[in-house]
Amino acid sequence: MPDIPRSEYPRPQFVRDDWLCLNGQWEFEIDQGDSGIDRGLLERELSDAITVPFCPESQLSGIENPDFMNAVWYRREVAIPAEWAGRRVLLHFQAVDYDSTVWVNGVEVGRHRGGFSPFSCDLKGVAEAGDTITIVLRARDDGQKPQPRGKQSREFGPSGAIYVRTTGIWQSVWLEPVPDIALRRPRITPDLANKTFRLEQPITGNAAGLRLRATLADADGDIATAECSAEYDLSPRLDLPIPADRLKLWEVGDPHLYDLEIALIDADGNTVDSARSYAGLRSISIDGKAIKINGRTVFQRLVLDQGYYPDGIMTAPSDAALREDIELSLAAGFNGARLHQKVFEERFLYHADQLGYIVWGEFGDWGCSMNGPINGEHQNPGPDYITQWLECLERDYSHPSIVGWCPLNETWQTLTDRITALDDVTRGMYLATKAMDSTRPVLDTSGYSHRVPEADVYDSHDYTQDPEAFRARHAGLAHGAPYLNDATGWGLSARHVGNVDWSIPYRDQPYFVSEFGGAWWNPDVQAGDDSWGYGTRPKSIEEFYDRFEKLCAILLDDVNMFGYCYTQLTDIYQEQNGIYRFDRGGKFDLARLRAAQQKPAAIELADSAVE
């Protein structure tokens, strides 16, 4: 599909052979008054054209409208392949921002709320193989409404650490045929202690004699095949053990991925449905202050990655661009990333899996009062946060590159003797994450208002630019009194130990500084340019290197620190504190940045000494 933008398979960990990419040109119309139903937009041709999957704010969409769009409409005629006869047709949207309604041939087939998670529409009874159908989608996205939006601006344009909005379709659209009884997305859990993979395989229904079969393989051929009845359970389970001579771990920087074939077999031995997947065998454990991967302490040298692009905004211009961002991070000496205020395209996780690049998954939660007032008024976050986060967890559970979850970021609220909506949502997001995934550590919120005592990890954000002041702030971790964010200066100044007015007390969990650095450096900035970064701008590039090297060394030398996250991978619009420019061009000597991060961390050396 060379002429279709972003034509790669959009769901790489659950692959069927038959599918049809619907990216490309669609009819399009902005519905500023959200009156499209009354004005006949459901029935008539639309007035403009757009290139899907790029949002209308982006250059790549062909629209490039930066203004608020309260509602937008999409329309396209599609011929369903005749060779799909006898199967149901699913219409998939990988991500649409924010409230979506979908019609096919004038019949509503689906609705969905949330800008970061996929949804599907079953066309059974509406359309079948060989039909030509008309798909219409309306997306509502009130730019002032309190809703999870990540870094999308509520103002006309971007400013500070807030960026351009995304409205409507911003990830791939595609069709897929499936049988009446079909596989759903599998949950693949590596069990290193028992040298096996646990496969939980949800299915859409049951039938007499139905069986589930799974085969694990590597480059040398099949390793293990397991089979069980799928007659009675909607989520049959299998174990796939790995013999010692075929055992290879998914390691940071040295990943091994096994192939997995999954099939439903009927009573006559015929294949009802099948799909391909892959899996990485690795463990994540907590040992005191250390987070271990495969039983070994790995200091997490993370970079903050926000996944924005000059021409595509939140959508990468190509699949290669997703992989390139990981390679750029690795070249600078990082071994992973916090995927910040955005649920990344699943193709990014596929490349992270392939490259042995560790990531923390995060929800794009900014948009309600827990991150500050909207137009001076506070609105409480609602259950939509938990609902949408659950969809994201379901999508991403099986990716070995994900080593932790962070459902919320920088929640702002003073701790009082009253239970607030923020307490409810923070705890709800934490419990939802642990219920969906008991295998990974969960940070209740990154920075600021920690509210869940049993959270696996504790952290702070610290953009202090003076290395000696930074060192002094974090000296207390050795005595169980780490630096905590407080309301004074939004956590950008030291707090009096014991005067916890934002968070519950620290309870000796693994601790890291999950945002630091952010030094403002753009050698080409001119007076009057819109340019921003944290702290005082370095006077020279040598001063930048000095800060970077010293700040990293302070955290690497702390035996109680399991990792860090440097802000950030690239410049984004006016925020010019990236390791790379917004267009991914170079700014620094990568060898020097890499050398600053490659010294063994104290917590890794302590682990080696014990061994």
User: What value, to the nearest 5°, has the Cα angle with vertex 116 and ends 139 and 428?
Assistant: 115
The region, left, alpha or beta by phi > 0 then psi within -120 to 50, assigned to residue 89 is beta
For residues 369 and 246, state if they share a domain: no
602 and 467 belong to one structural domain: yes
- Give the Cα separation of 101 and 74 in Å (integer): 11
Provide the pairing of β-strand 71-79 with 24-30: antiparallel
Q: Does 369 reside within a domain?
A: yes
Q: Which domain holds residue 129?
A: 20-178
Q: Specify whether the CB–CB gap between 311 and 58 falls below 8 A.
A: yes
Answer yes or no: is 14 within a domain: no
Reported as a pLDDT band with limits 50, 70 and 90, residue 493 is very low
140, 141, 142, 143 alpha-carbon torsion, rounded to 10°: -160
* CA distance from start to end of the chain: 52
CATH code where residue 27 lies: 2.60.120.260
- Are 403 and 520 part of one and the same domain? yes
Distance CA 158, CA 162 (A): 5
Q: What is the pLDDT of residues 352-403, one digit of tens each?
A: 999 999 999 999 998 876 555 555 444 566 778 999 999 999 999 999 999 9
Please give the DSSP secondary-structure letter assigned to residue 374.
B
Retrieve residue 426's tokens. Answer: 């923070």
Minimal CA–CA distance to 79: which of 23, 135, 24?
135
Residues 589-597 have a mean pLDDT of: 98
Q: What pLDDT was estimated at residue 383?
A: 75
Whole-model pTM: value is 0.96
In a domain, 6, yes or no: no
Cα atoms found within 13 Å of the Cα of residue 67, Cβ hemisphere only: 8
Q: For residue 487, what pLDDT band results from cuts at 50, 70 and 90? A: low
Confidence band, pLDDT 50/70/90 cuts, at residue 498: very low
- Would you state the pLDDT for residue 416? 83
Query: What is the torsional sign of CA 494, 566, 480, 442?
Result: positive
Q: How confident is the model at residue 491 (pLDDT cuts 50, 70, 90)?
A: very low
Domain-embedded: residue 10: no
What is the pLDDT confidence band of residue 191, given thresholds at 50, 70 and 90?
Answer: very high
What does residue 12 show for φ and ψ, rounded to 5 degrees? -70, -10
Q: Under DSSP, is residue 112 helix (H, G, I), strand (E, B) or coil?
A: strand
DSSP strands (E only) in 194-270: 196-200, 211-218, 221-229, 237-241, 258-265
Give me the phi and psi of 386, to 5 degrees please. -70, -40
Beta bridge partners of 24: 52
What is the dihedral sign for C-alpha 161, 164, 170, 171?
negative
Q: Judge whether residue 432 has pLDDT over 60.
A: yes
299 occurs within a structural domain: yes
Residue 254 sits in a domain whose CATH number is 2.60.40.10
* pLDDT higher than threshold 60 for residue 495: no
Q: Confidence class of residue 499 from pLDDT cuts 50, 70 and 90?
A: very low
CA 26/CA 72 separation, integer angstroms = 12
432 and 532 share one domain: yes
Note the pLDDT of residue 275.
98
Residue 188 lies in a domain: no
Q: How would residue 2 be classed by pLDDT, with cut points 50, 70 and 90?
A: low
Residues 45 and 127: their CA atoms lie apart, in Å, by 20
Whether residue 433 contacts residue 390, with contact meaning beta carbons closer than 8 Å, is answered with no
The structure tokens 């169980």 sit at 480
Instruction: Write down the pLDDT at residue 369.
Output: 60
Indicate the number of domains in the chain. Answer: 3
Mean pLDDT of the chain: 93
Measure CA 123 to chain center: 29
Name the more confident of 610 and 530: 530
| Shared-domain flag, residues 349 and 429 | yes
Please give the pLDDT value at position 11. 98
pLDDT exceeds cutoff 50 at 520: yes
For residues 353 and 429, membership in a common domain is answered with: yes
Q: How far apart are the C-alpha atoms of 557 and 546, rounded to whole Å?
A: 16
Q: Which residue has the tokens 């290879």?
A: 248
Query: In sequence order, what E strands does 24-171 have?
Result: 24-30, 48-52, 71-79, 88-93, 96-97, 99-104, 107-113, 119-122, 132-140, 168-169
Please report how the helices 421-436 and 384-396 are oriented relative to each other, as an axis angle in degrees rounded to 10. Answer: 20
Token code pair at residue 35 = 């009156």
User: What span, in angstroms and rounded, lies between the C-alpha atoms of 449 and 490?
Assistant: 11
Q: How far apart are CA 524 and CA 583, in angstroms?
A: 14
* Closest-CA residue to 7 (of 347, 275, 308, 248): 347
The pair phi, psi for residue 16, each rounded to 5°, is -110, 150
194-226 pLDDT, tens digit each: 999 999 999 999 999 999 999 999 999 999 999
Asked if 272 and 290 sit in the same domain, the reply is: no
- Among 279, 303, 336, give the residue marking a domain's end: 279
Does residue 491 contact residue 445 with C-beta atoms inside 8 Å?
A: no
- One domain for residues 303 and 255: no
Please report which helix (H) or strand (E) contains residue 608, including its range: helix 602-610
The residues pairing with 229 across neighbouring beta strands, listed in sequence order, are: 211
Pair (329, 403) in one structural domain: yes
Is residue 554 assigned to a domain?
Answer: yes
Among candidate residues 178, 209, 232, the one where a domain is terminated:
178
Q: How do strand 211-218 and strand 358-362 relate by DSSP bridges?
A: unpaired
Q: CATH number for the domain including 312?
A: 3.20.20.80
Confidence at residue 372, expressed as pLDDT on a 0 to 100 scale: 53
pLDDT at residue 420, as a whole number: 83
Are the beta carbons of 462 and 491 closer than 8 angstroms? yes
Which pairing describes strands 358-362 and 402-406: parallel, antiparallel, or unpaired? parallel
Last residue of a domain, one of 145, 178, 211: 178
Tell me: cis bond preceding 53? Omega within 30 of 0 counts. yes
For the cut 90, the answer to whether the pLDDT of residue 529 exceeds it is: no
The reply to whether 504 and 355 lie within a common domain is yes
Clarify whether residues 270 and 330 are in a common domain. Answer: no
**The tokens 């005629």 sit on which residue?**
77
pLDDT of residue 411: 86
144/203 same-domain check? no
- The residue behind tokens 């607030």 is 420
Total residue count of the chain as it appears in this document: 611
In this predicted structure, the answer to whether residue 496 has a pLDDT above a threshold of 70 is: no
101 forms beta bridges with 111, 138
Taking only the tens place, the pLDDT of each residue in 106-134 is 999 999 999 999 999 999 999 999 999 99
Q: Report yes or no on 297 lying in a domain.
A: yes
Alpha-carbon 225 to chain mean position: 32
| pLDDT at residue 1 is higher than 50 | no
